Structure 1
């Protein structure tokens, strides 16, 4: 991987006009609204149910893009079709959602149907407002929508129209923890994520819908803004400062992570996260393929036997076992269904530490009676922060450990199956917490708020976890890392997906002040699939980050 030098960009205009709706920009929200699905109170005060039905059908046609059908229900079909179509397309509105309320009868004999419009603007967010559909009875007794521009939006008129403005969407300048420029060309996994690091960290682009004078083109008001602007206020305040967005990433670790996945993932979907043990700062976040969904941070996977770090913590915390306690490891165990070990291995008379290092499912499941139904989830939340709301700096999924519904599900949860959900970010954090004894909210953009509340693990439990994880490398299923220096501790995992699919492979490891986690979809085993990836990563970056 080559590191591209930082390039100075020409100043950009605060907002670049993407689309001006020359014709009437009618703005009525709507999206998958169907008359039979959308909530609609017919209202006993309506003069004629046929009028209310005509309004609902008009909104349904509009929301589904049937502009001709919607327009035919109005008193001015040609004008209505032109406005509805140009408004929706011109403002990049996708799948409008139009929700009608109770019909009302007015003093002059007309019927009006109020509605709420939720207009998703592509790539920006949803514009929400209210309007109403007026209806008038024609001479033949039929009801028609009494067409006016105000139906589309109350501020739309013969004097004013709408214009969509988007902020310059070129990727922001992003730097690593040392100020080194991070570009999508040099660091492929970051390419689809660079814009997420800017602004408020939500990944939302910035823009606005303006009300403009039809004659002069001057802006007379702002209907809505999307995303957050610079220090001066919202999106209308202008483009963000051109100063690079500093992240916690380390260019050396990020480059090595991309390279490891590219050469060792074997074309399978895979992802990894590396973070600092002492403060949770993310050093690398990589996916294969590099484009598309950020499974490293937002994925939802059963963590498999890597979750035994949490299960072991729960057992050790209440002195239910010690590493030397004998916990038999048979080939099979039936708890509602048959559970077995990888390749149906067995270790008769094994100690709990041996069960951990060999990742014995049946031994862990046999200990389920030592824990309350909610206890594993409580420990995960209280000590490891799993399931609490994390503010990482980009969208993330922070894990879930639901209370088991029955004994079979409880057995599965003991080994990171069932409804337990995590991803490499969560499991790297779990590994770091086990190594240090203290949870630190993972972050990728410095300065994010931290509303988590956790309790440190007792030193005795931390020491036992470290010993067992080290033994997993020297004498157990993570032996693939045994030739590397640094006293590495690790835990492998194999997570079942479906009867007709290969298992996902997991490996988590800790070396010095770095914790890493990797998952390979359909990787069969953790040591065999994720092992080579983390071996290459840790070999390429032998030193702890500064």
Structure 2
């Protein structure tokens, strides 16, 4: 039998009403999904780990699912039609946007009694307007008769408790958004500032405690709630709630930021501007303005903007100096062939030139100067990346895992591979680089701060400021050169996949403000994110008091 029902929104009630959304999945008769060589498990190949082809397929499935390429993800399973139906029902029906799916390290894979290779993964499911539901599950990989691997499809692939007798539903409690003001008491409404509309209800201190809801596991037949998987929001506290919520945002900067994103040409984009001296967020904008908060919760490879952190790691240990010659060839082979944007080259270049022209091959050639985990340690210790941030709204706080091999280490030197960030993180990185000290970003006052960092040495700060200034006057951020002030910047171009254009990045600082912009499929940072930053800084010539 097949349960063909899909998740459908319930009717909307009054202010405290409940909207129910039920996540159902197609019930499947589980098939073996292909032959399996008797006695030859996934580890019985004379090596120390699982078959690399199996791990590659597992990560490809998760990447396709996360990117919304559901037909492709389903095609990697033993039951493509059923898998596509279930994946679509689960993610769309629970209002999940931009799933973040991360496979465990190879050594965590386990051979099961049924002959499959179990690959654990962590799922972070951002539910629109509520928060992120995080859980762990396991992908069963089965070897096929032709030696390839596929995900052995079953309902538990999506979530370990999804079955032919249990399904999920999303319960929402509708609440009025609080009155929110900027740093000077000016009202911030979703009508005037569209990017803020999805965030206003998430800010603490409202009379209703912000939006509330839950993901519940229910019996398919009776609809009875068997357990609550995740809860969002909090019950209002009459003793502390009430009155407008004052934020660190600046209405002038916010308006300029939303207008500036029009320069992205209709592409998905995000921007964050914050104060360098204390981390207070002045503007946070997304295009499109509705839905997912790319600016603070997105997970992107930061591309060459990450060279600020890489340079910090190298300069901290005197592994390189700005005037040292570090050749910049067209190509460099480390596991794969690496090249520069437009396959440029700069023979005999100094490290300063490598930074200002964003030379990938030069930075990759310096990978031996850093220990495998050193880049992540520098990011965490000096820039706070990967620590838990509390800024007043939900955020993704970055990840810099140690590379598994030389190819991944090469990628990490230029902000690729498994390094993940977003505009909030990269604006903070820029502020830290040019001031020497990390300040936990904030959108509201009084947030808990559990971060622990160390200040960058003054010499390193001076060098980073000089490198970023030269990138504007003589390098890839020349798009900002006509603006007044001592602006410093770094561009970035981040590869996404073979069938997508690169994301464009640009980070910049001027006076007491640091800015970061990402434009999805913007091709180059200077060409796509550059005009956005130029528009913002042109519209707001003065720093806030």
Under a length normalisation based on structure 1, what TM-score does the superposition of the two structures give?
Answer: 0.66
- What is the CA-CA distance between 1:513 and the residue it aligns to? 0.4
Q: Deviations over 1:25-67 (max 9, x none)?
A: xxxx997697999xxxxxxxxxxxxxxxxxxxxxxxxxxxxxx
> In 1, distance between residues paired with 2:373 and 2:516?
25
Q: 1:261–1:270: 8 Å Cα contact kept in structure 2?
A: yes
Whole-Å separation in 1 of the counterparts to 2:19 and 2:495 = 52
Task: Give how far 1:439 is off.
Answer: 0.3
| Structure 1: distance between partners of 2:498 and 2:283 | 33
Which 4+ stretches in 1 moved above 3 angstroms?
29-37, 92-95, 121-126, 165-168, 198-204, 224-227, 229-234
Please say if 1:195 is aligned against 2:206: no
- Cα deviation, residue 514, structure 1: 0.2
Q: List alignment gaps of at least 5 residues for structure 2.
A: 1-13, 31-92, 97-126, 133-170, 215-229
SS in 1 for 2:202: helix
Could you tell me which residue of structure 1 aligns to residue 332 of structure 2? 333
Residue equivalent to 2:374: 375
Provide the residue aligned with 2:288 in structure 1: 289
For residues 373-393 of structure 1, give each alpha carbon's deviation from its aligned partner in whole angstroms, at most 9, with x where no partner exists.
Answer: 000000000000000000011
> Residue 528 and residue 194 in structure 1: after superposition, are their counterparts in 2 closer, same or farther (change >3 A)?
same
Query: Is 1:169 equivalent to 2:184 in the alignment?
Result: no
1:349-498 counterparts in 2 under 5 A?
349-498=348-497
Q: Call closer, same or farther: CA 1:170–1:373 in 2, change over 3 Å.
A: same
**Cα offset, 1:94, TM superposition:** 11
Q: How many residues align?
A: 387
Partner Cα separation in structure 2 for residue 386 and residue 337 of structure 1:
28
Per-residue CA deviation, residues 429-469 of structure 1 (Å, 9 max, x unaligned), is: 00000010000001111110000000000000000000000
For structure 1, which runs of at least 5 residues remain unmatched after alignment?
A: 1-14, 22-28, 38-91, 96-120, 127-164, 209-223, 235-239
Distance 1:94 1:455 in 2: 40
Measured in 2, the distance between the counterparts of 1:310 and 1:93 equals: 37
1:260 maps to 260
- Residue 323 of structure 1 is matched in structure 2 by 322
> What is the rounded CA distance, in whole Å, between the counterparts of 1:225 and 1:358 in structure 2?
47
Alignment partner of 1:537: what SS? Answer: helix
Q: Distance in 2 between matches of 1:94 and 1:524?
A: 30
Using a 3 Å threshold, how does the CA distance of structure 1 residues 20 and 273 change in structure 2: closer, same or farther?
Answer: closer
CA–CA distance in structure 1, aligned partners of residues 27 and 406 of structure 2: 43
CA distance in 2, matches of 1:343, 1:168: 51
Q: Find the aligned partners of 1:299 and 1:529 in 2 and give their Cα distance.
A: 18
Q: 1:534-545 alignment to 2 at 5 Å? A: 534-545=533-544
The alignment partner of 2:432 has SS state of: helix
Query: CA contact under 8 A between 2:305 and 2:490: conserved in structure 1?
Result: yes
Cα deviations across residues 2-46 of structure 1 (Å, max 9, x unaligned)?
Answer: xxxxxxxxxxxxx9552699xxxxxxx997697999xxxxxxxxx
Change (3 A) 1:451 1:334: same
Q: Find the residue that maps to 1:197 and give its secondary structure.
A: coil
Matches of 1:268 and 1:30 in 2, distance apart?
Answer: 30
**What TM-score do you get using the length of structure 2 for normalisation?**
0.66
CA distance in 1, matches of 2:342, 2:541: 34
In the other structure, the counterpart of 1:500 is 499
- 1:169, distance to aligned residue in structure 2 (A): 1.9
- The answer as to whether partners of 1:199 and 1:228 remain within 8 angstroms in 2 is no
Is the Cα contact below 8 Å between 1:200 and 1:228 reproduced in 2? no
After superposition, the Cα gap between the structure-2 partners of 1:417 and 1:30, relative to the gap in structure 1 and judged at 3 Å, is: closer
Structure 1 residue 172, shift from structure 2 partner: 1.2
Residue 250 (str. 1) matches residue 256 (str. 2): no
* Contact 1:306–1:507 (Cα < 8 Å) also in 2: yes
Name the SS of the counterpart of 1:510 in structure 2: strand
